[in-house]
Copies of this chain bind each other. A is one copy, B any other.
Amino acid sequence: MKVGFIGLGHMGAAMASNLIKGGNQLTVYNRTPAKADALVALGAKAAASLADACQGDAVMTMLANDAAVENVVFGEGGIIDSLPRGAIHISSSTISVALAERLTAAHKAAGQRFVVATVFGRPDAAAAKQLVVVAAGEPEAIKTVTPLLDAIGRTTYVASETPSIANLIKLSGNFLFVSIMESLGEAIALIGKAGIDRKEYLDFLTSALFDVPSYKLYGGLIVAGKFEPALFAAPLGYKDIRLALAAADDLRVPMPLASLLRDRFLTLLAHGGETLDWSAVGGLASKDANELAA
């Protein structure tokens, strides 16, 4: 399949690499062109412009936030301007539900097709083709891009015919991850201040009760209190909680735990947490309890 790929950060580069390995002809684009070099070495073509990346059957975008996606899609010579009628834009970025709805309408008006395929997993999972993909869009379009989704992940959940639903599910999932950080953070502050060894406690929890990767990974970081280098940076986690709350606003869904998590991120960011891993929100309960001084 002839596919453009826009956005070659850690996640995007790993996904693009797997698309190439999957036998697709890739044209890759990044604002900073040097990031394309490794993929060109694998057989990709470097696009000279955004438009250049929009000449295939599909174009996939993996960008940092709403603003980046808006630029690439709506900007002059962007995807709306350049993608052929009937071709498919696959959006994998974690963006707002509202923007996904705007994209749906704009592509429809331009005679293009639109699929959202959000992904769960960090760059190492992306590199290992172990992403969990949540896709949504018209069944025919989903069917067309399925080989691409199969090339980047270990499983794909087709959630809805409405593309933005895949964004909502991605946001709800990240909310669930941060909820784990908060609950573990409070539990660890409690037992830590009582003098229990934090690591032994977590080992018990994650072997006997919560034998699942998220509890092990985030719990381990919280127990160690080491949040650098960031696997997924706090400002990104904060952005996702805000987007979840924005969707909840529009749907009129009160989410008091999500509100608490938003406040946690704000506290973190107000104290220089920009470079920390998002699991650092799970360290705030210990700070409030003055636990490590105990």
Q: For the complex, is A208 an interface residue (Cβ under 8 Å from B)?
A: yes
Q: Given the complex, which residues of B lie within 8 Å of A271, measured CB to CB?
A: 290
Using a CB–CB cutoff of 8 Å, the interface residues on chain A facing chain B are 120, 132, 134, 155, 157, 159-160, 162, 165, 168-169, 172-173, 175-176, 179-180, 182-184, 186-187, 189-191, 193-196, 200-201, 204-205, 207-212, 214-215, 242, 244, 247-249, 251-260, 262-264, 266-267, 269-271, 285, 288-291
Q: Assess the A253–B196 pair: CB atoms within 8 A.
A: no
How near does chain B come to A291, taking the closest CB pair, in angstroms? 7
Interchain CA distance A268-B180 in the complex, whole Å:
23
Q: Is B254's CB under 8 angstroms from A288's CB?
A: yes
Residues of B within 8 A of A172 (CB): 187, 190-191
Pairwise interchain contact B165-A194, C-beta atoms closer than 8 A: yes
**Residues of the B chain whose Cβ atoms lie less than 8 Å from the Cβ of A289:** 251-254, 266-267, 270
Name the B residues within 8 Å of A258 (CB-CB): 186
Nearest-CB residue, chain B, relative to A286: B253
Is B189 a contact of A285 with CB atoms below 8 Å?
Answer: no
Q: Taking each of A173, A187, A262, which has the highest tally of chain B beta carbons within 10 Å of its own beta carbon?
A: A187
Verify B176–A184 contact, CB threshold 8 A.
Answer: yes
Tell me which of B208, B256, B264 contacts A260 (CB under 8 A): B256
- Whether B253 pairs with A285 at a CB distance below 8 angstroms is yes
On chain B, the residues within 8 Å of A247 by CB distance are: 190, 194
Given A176-B187, A205-B173, A208-B120, A196 contacting B255 (CB threshold 8 A)? no
CB < 8 Å neighbour of A183 from B176, B190, B253: B176
CB distance from A103 to the nearest CB of B (A): 17
Contact A270 B257 (CB under 8 A): no
| Measured CA separation A189–B168 after assembly (Å) | 12
Contact between A193 and B242 (Cβ–Cβ < 8 Å)?
Answer: no
Q: How many whole Å from A240's CB to the nearest CB in chain B?
A: 13
A196 / chain B contacts, CB cutoff of 8 Å: 159-160, 165, 168-169
| Inter-subunit contact A266/B285 (CB<8 Å) | no
Considering the complex, give the chain B residue whose CB is closest to the CB of A133. Answer: B208
In the docked arrangement, what's the CA distance between A156 and B39, Å?
Answer: 51
Contact of A193 among B179, B182, B184, B251 (CB under 8 A): B251
| A201 & B169 in contact (Cβ 8 Å cutoff) | yes
